[in-house]
Amino acid sequence: MKRINLIPPEFATGRKALVGTDLQRKAVALVAVFLVVFLIQFLLGWVEVVKLEREVKVLNQKVVKDRSASESFQKSKEAVSAQLESVQKVTAQLLKKQELLSQLKNERLKWSEALSEFYETLPKKVWVDELHLERGKSYVRGGTFGNEFVGEFMNSLNEAPHFANATFTRTEAGKLNNQPVVNYELGFQLIPKQSS
């Protein structure tokens, strides 16, 4: 026996309404389209995740490489800093030596000039028995015919560029060939002539 549905499809309920109105097929198609769209979205998302994982891996490798380069740069920077410090120390030492050489050059004593100057300061009636020249403390011993010549000699020494601070150390009366003489000793400083 065959059954016939006399109820119009728009009033049908339940499974009969779905089959009769073709709603079931449309619902399945809609679910299938939804699943396909969901699957495509999932695949696209998965492809994007894989792509991002590769990029993260490349970035991690780059970070490791950059960190290694940074460490080697830091080591080379420390080495250069140590070398720079060493060069600065050597430069400071050389500057000190240069300053010392310059100072020594300025304080250089030309003995020939000093002796020539000494001879020029010697008055005519004064003679020298002993001359001791040393930087700083020097002295001269000799004789003359009067104390005024010793004073003149002392003044001449004080005015000369290589000598300063001439003072009496001692004087005593004596005789030379039965003539009265004054034996003297003068102390003075020998100083280098400043060069310009």
CA distance 102 to 144: 42
**Residue 136 main-chain phi, psi, to 5 deg:** 90, -100
Residue 134 counted as domain residue: yes
For residues 173 and 144, is the Cβ–Cβ distance under 8 A? no
Structural domain including 116 reads: 111-190
* Any domain includes 152: yes
SS3 169: strand
Which CATH number fits the domain that encloses residue 142?
Answer: 3.30.1360.100
The pLDDT assigned to 12 comes to: 59
Distance between alpha carbon 12 and the CA centroid of its chain, in Å?
98
pLDDT: which is higher, 196 or 27: 27
Lowest mean pLDDT among 13-17, 83-87, 174-178: 13-17
pLDDT tens for residues 20-47? 556 667 878 889 999 999 999 999 999 9
Whether residue 165 lies inside any domain: the answer is: yes
In a domain, 154, yes or no: yes
- Token pair 């080591």: residue: 75
Of 175, 179, 170, the residue nearest 150 (C-alpha): 170
Residues 134-174 have pLDDT tens digits of 877 888 999 998 888 888 988 988 888 888 888 888 888 88
Task: Report yes or no on 63 lying in a domain.
Answer: no
Q: Within a domain: residue 1?
A: no
Residue 25 is assigned to a structural domain of this protein? no
| pLDDT (mean) for 51-55 | 94
Asked whether residue 71 is assigned to any structural domain, the reply reads no
Q: For the whole model, what pTM was predicted?
A: 0.45
pLDDT at 148 (0 to 100): 87
Total domains in the fold of the chain: 1
